[in-house]
A = this chain, B = another copy of it.
């Protein structure tokens, strides 16, 4: 019954990558509310899955009401929110999945913390740092406010929502994002194609993709 089970005390990420035929990484989307982050993240996730790669999206839907449901809107909680998302994305990337995060993440320091976590490896580990790709989903606030699919900008203007990014709280633009997408000028499909092209050109995914079905 116990035949054919081979294992050794630890498993390096390189070995896992060989077994999974895929390397993990984190694609960190940042941008204003209604800039199109979630739409692009959803389309990107599906495009990668269709290529036979494992990808998983972390966003408000599966994080806010789960892992981070005990966090509020204080400064400390805001930092902890992004820290936890960074740590979980890192775990997914370590498991050879492409983690796609979709959060406003308006502060440079928070995004830089998430990036730094990815560059840290356990003491004594032979694993290399995990790639962290920051993608700025850039859409002028006027355009976001015009879209306003959830009526949040309206509430922010009326003062019903306080500290709303782009209206009454700052959005600190990325200084050196790996990719800068103008989502008011590029379609969702074009945005996904640009991100995919970047991944191929940097050797993160195969050029043709594997056919999964």
Q: In the complex the two chains form, is B189's CB within 8 Å of A2's CB?
A: yes
Interface residue? A96 (CB, 8 A): yes
The yes or no answer to A162 lying at the interface (CB within 8 A) is no
Residues on B with C-beta less than 8 A from A87 are 66-67
Inter-subunit contact B97/A43 (CB<8 Å): no
* A47-B117 in contact given A58-B91, A97-B97 (Cβ < 8 Å): no
Q: Give min CB distance, A13 to chain B, whole Å.
A: 11
Return chain B residues, CB-CB under 8 Å to A19. 49-50, 212-213
Cβ–Cβ contact B192 & A5, under 8 A: yes
| A84 interfacial contact with B, CB 8 Å | yes
Would you list which residues of chain A between 89 and 131 have a CB under 8 Å from chain B? 90-92, 94-97, 117, 122
For residue A152, CB closer than 8 A to chain B, the reply is no
How close is A10's CB to chain B, nearest CB, in angstroms? Answer: 7
Q: Please tell me if the beta carbons of A67 and B46 are within 8 angstroms of each other in the complex.
A: no
Q: How far is the CA of A131 from the CA of B80 in the complex (A)?
A: 29
Question: B49 to A62, Cβ gap below 8 A?
Answer: no
A193 contacts the other chain (Cβ, under 8 Å)? yes
Chain B hits for A70, CB < 8 A: 80
Q: How far is the CA of A42 from the CA of B20 in the complex (A)?
A: 16
Give the shortest distance, in Å, between A52 (CB) and chain B (any CB): 8
Contacts of A58 in B (CB 8 A): 91
- The complex places the Cα of A62 from the Cα of B56 at a distance, in Å, of 19
Q: Are B43 and A5 in contact (CB under 8 A)?
A: yes
Q: Determine how close the nearest CB of chain B comes to the CB of A71; give it in whole angstroms.
A: 11
Complex A-B, nearest 8 residue pairs according to Cβ-Cβ distance, in ascending order: A2-B189, A56-B95, A7-B43, A7-B46, A67-B87, A2-B193, A2-B190, A19-B49
Sample 27 A-B pairs with CB under 8 A, ordered by A number: A1-B193, A1-B194, A2-B187, A2-B190, A2-B192, A3-B193, A5-B47, A5-B192, A7-B42, A7-B43, A7-B46, A7-B188, A7-B192, A10-B42, A11-B45, A16-B49, A19-B50, A54-B54, A56-B95, A58-B91, A62-B94, A66-B87, A67-B87, A67-B91, A88-B88, A88-B91, A91-B92
